[in-house]
Amino acid sequence: MNKAAFYDLDGTLLSCNLVTMQAYYARNHRSVLKSAYQFTKVLVSVPLFFGLDLYSRSLFNIFSFRAYRGMHRDRLIGLADDLFEVTLKPSIFPQAETLIDTTRELGYRNVLVTGTLDFQVRPIALHFGIDEIICNRLEFKNHIATGRVLPPLLAENEKARSIREYAAEENIDLTQSCAFSDSSADLPMLSAVGQPVATNPTRRLRRVAVEKNWPILELRETSTNFPPFLSVAKVH
Amino acid sequence: MKSRTIWRWDPVRGEYQPGPARPLEGTGEISAIDAFRNNTILLLGCTGFLGKVVLAMILDRFPELKHLVVQVRRKKNISGEQRFYSDVLLSPPLRPAVEHIGERTAREKIQVVEGDLDQPLCGISAEHLKRLRGKVGVVVNLAGVVDFDPPVNESFEPNVYGTQHLIELTKLLDAKLVHVSTAYVAGKQNGRISEDTPIPGYFPRRGERENEHFSVPEELNWYEQFVKETRESRTTNPRPVRERLREGGMQRAAYWGWTNTYTYTKSIGEQLIARTPGLSYAIIRPAIVESSLRCPFPGWNEGFTTSAPLVLMGGEGVKGWPVRKDGPLEIIPVDIVAAGILIVTAAVLCGKHKHVYHLASADQNPIMLPRLVAFLGMNSRYKHKHKKSGSRLANIWKAYVETQVITVESLQARRARLHRGLEVIHAVLTLGKTLFGGERVGPFLKSLRDTRRQIRAQEITLDKFLPFMFHNSFIFVTRNIREAARMLTNEDLRRLKWDPESIDWADYWVNIHTKGIEKWIRPVFTVKKAGREF
């Protein structure tokens, strides 16, 4: 039986701030004038997004994908590398790469399980050398984004379901596998594996982790102690 | 990278479709596995870009392959055999296949014979010919000169006389022939190009020149005469002979309606084959062959003959692109072409072939030129934003000003404006040189000279591609290859995929093709350029 390491992305390995990503697309419009207009629109909408996030997470998600409405798929794919360089790469946590290398050396198959969109995940996965991705996809009509996500929307229970399905297909023992996430929304995914690790946990997740005696990992700091089942490898 | 999803991109409709594509079911009239198991193939031109991929594909996917003979030209004092083992078998595209089957097996299956297309019977020795006679089932020719406008003799010798030698060889070996030509033998035409147009006597301007007839012997006479006269007038005419030979070829091609010497000589080659009585043949006409999609690995590319110059120019920050707004660019990944060649070879071996096969993409899944122009712009944006060297102002300009689709007229106007501007700068600098001395102004003058040389080189490249991007808009009908693919067995179809209809062009162009060119072509190109300057 193989074992796998499942990684959440946003907040776990890096902080991909939605507003900076939207601002990026606005700034890089085809025409300079339109860029300025779009950028102002994003600036105006910042407080709105902030309020929405406080009010309801799922509404926030729906609105955040709506921001892609009307964008051409070619442009989303064509700008993905630049988006990564500009907004994502600087926000990777200092210990993220070490962690991923460690799990790889220990024989885990690294898999990204994330709600982020496929074209944005690609350069990140290449950067970390992760070969397998489970992620969301935008819906397109005639190459233009409709602003909706193709079902099933990858979040909460759906993440747990998809890793179970993956494990069944790829002959992976979930009890031997580990998962990393920062948010209590990923509790189903964390509970599905034998070695869950609360990584840069939010307050709620920290509480649950302490209760269930799960290891807690801080990747944001420049030096951190990996949980025992990972640090074994370092001795070898 | 594996992305797990239940969705599949449909490039023609521009939306995701649920579930994987239904695999093609073959009728089993042609069995590639049996064909390759029972026949010996003689492959010419396996040292080229396409040849290596064909070789990699057949070695990797067909362990049943009985025996393959490859003809390799001797280069100075490196024998053909040495060249094959060092340049071909150890090259990056063949490495995965050779590792897969083992180098010993590869060496056992492949026999190398030395030869040269310029010689009678392709320069294969009498001894080898004796041994190969009656054994070889099919001769597959991938060799040829693909430069668009070389001096006419450099194109005629391999593409016309080389083909003549190839026909002699095939007849002597009592084999069938698969000959790779180019889809652009269609010449200056528009619209859908059929595979059924008769080959002998074909010339693109038949419509306007109804009273004229194109005949191969006459063209050969013209060629001999022209080359002789040009060489003899060496003393009386001050212009270099090479230049005049180059122009002569282009003019002759244009007279009949071909876009350049290459397509003109390739068409004569095809006509030679079609005129030969009793020859069982198939002519394969690929469109513009580009980086590989999957095999041997995504993004493999080599040489400077495809759209690489355009992609590199786009990367340098060229903004105005004269292309047709409604036209596709007929490009096709090299591994899909290689699969097509193997399918046709199998069809020929099974005797179920047609005479002409277009290998192109726009018939099923066109990629429109304005989309490609936008990709070039985004690549330039990415490169210049993160570029550390060069003028900062120029980098910002190249990063944030998007590429545009323009007409040829506005291209000419832009060029004129640019050159006037450069003239003015040149005049000012020359004045400065007399006022302040060469030491202070000299470097500026030198960099201006370099810039002008670079701009001129870009203009020449762009002009070469105009027939494919602006003047003409073709779609090559690919009915025959689709028909041949449907005749394969299901096991063959798992190994040989003819599927241009499923190419996700955005992903291909951005993540595979552009990166492939940056990885494999740019380093070679930069070294060459540096070599020329010193």
Task: Supply the DSSP string of B206-237, one letter for each residue.
Answer: GGT-TT----HHHHHHHHHHHHHHHHHTTTT-
Same domain for B423 and B276?
Answer: no
The structural architecture, per CATH, of the domain A3-15+93-235 is 3-Layer(aba) Sandwich (3.40)
- pLDDT tens for each residue of chain B, 534 residues long: 788 888 999 999 999 999 888 888 999 999 999 999 999 999 999 999 999 999 999 999 999 998 899 999 988 888 999 999 998 999 999 999 999 999 999 999 999 999 998 899 999 999 999 999 989 999 999 987 888 889 999 999 999 999 999 999 999 999 999 999 999 999 998 899 999 999 999 999 988 888 889 999 999 999 999 999 999 988 888 889 999 999 999 999 999 999 999 999 999 999 999 999 999 999 999 999 999 999 899 999 988 667 888 888 888 888 899 999 989 999 999 999 999 999 999 999 999 999 999 999 999 999 999 999 999 999 999 999 999 888 889 899 898 888 999 999 999 999 999 999 999 999 999 998 888 887 888 888 888 999 899 889 889 888 888 888 888 888 999 999 999 999 999 999 999 999 999 999 999 999 999 999 999 988 887 766 554 433
* Residue B303 belongs to a domain: no
Residues within 8 A of B (CB atoms), A 131-170 only: 131-135, 137, 139-144, 150, 162, 166
* Chain B closest-CA separation from residue A70 CA (Å): 13
Chain B residues within 8 A of A82 when measuring between CB atoms: 378, 381-382, 385-386
Q: What's the pLDDT tens digit per position in A154-212? A: 888 899 999 999 999 999 999 999 999 998 889 999 999 999 999 999 999 999 999 99
CA-to-CA distance for B187 and B265, rounded, in angstroms?
Answer: 11
B57: DSSP letter: H
**Domain boundaries, position B123:** 21-201+260-287+330-363+477-503
Cβ of B319 under 8 Å from any chain A Cβ?
no
The structure tokens 């294969």 sit at: B124
Q: What is the CATH number of the domain that holds B54?
A: 3.40.50.720
How many C-beta neighbours within 10 Å does residue B36 have?
A: 25
How many C-beta neighbours within 10 Å does residue B466 have?
A: 15
Query: For B412-436, b where at least 16 C-beta lie within 10 A, e where not — what string?
Result: eeeeeeeeeeeeeeeeebeeebeee
Of A85, A133, A150, which is closest to B1 when you measure between CB atoms?
A: A133
Same domain for B50 and B175?
Answer: yes
Same domain for B26 and B157?
Answer: yes
* Residue B252 belongs to a domain: no
A5: DSSP letter: E
Written as one string, the DSSP assignment of B73-109 is --BTTB-HHHHIIIIITTSTTTHHHHHHH-HHHHHHH
How many C-beta neighbours within 10 Å does residue B338 have?
A: 28
Q: How many structural domains does chain B have?
A: 2
* Residue B16 belongs to a domain: no
**Residue B231 CA: distances (Å) to CA of A115, B234, B238, B246, B502:** 70, 5, 12, 13, 51
Residues within 8 A of A (CB atoms), B 452-511 only: 506-507, 510-511
Q: Contact, B338 vs A42, CB < 8 A?
A: no
* Residue B300 belongs to a domain: no
Chain B residues within 8 A of A133 when measuring between CB atoms: 1-4
The structure tokens 């189903």 sit at: A188
Same domain for B35 and B118?
Answer: yes
Same domain for B499 and B438?
Answer: no
How many C-beta neighbours within 10 Å does residue B396 have?
A: 12
Domain ranges of chain A: 3-15+93-235, 18-89
Same domain for B404 and B465?
Answer: yes
Same domain for B390 and B483?
Answer: no
A14: DSSP letter: B
A–B: how many Cβ contacts below 8 A?
80
Same domain for B411 and B323?
Answer: yes
* Chain B closest-CA separation from residue A42 CA (Å): 19
Cβ of B402 under 8 Å from any chain A Cβ?
yes
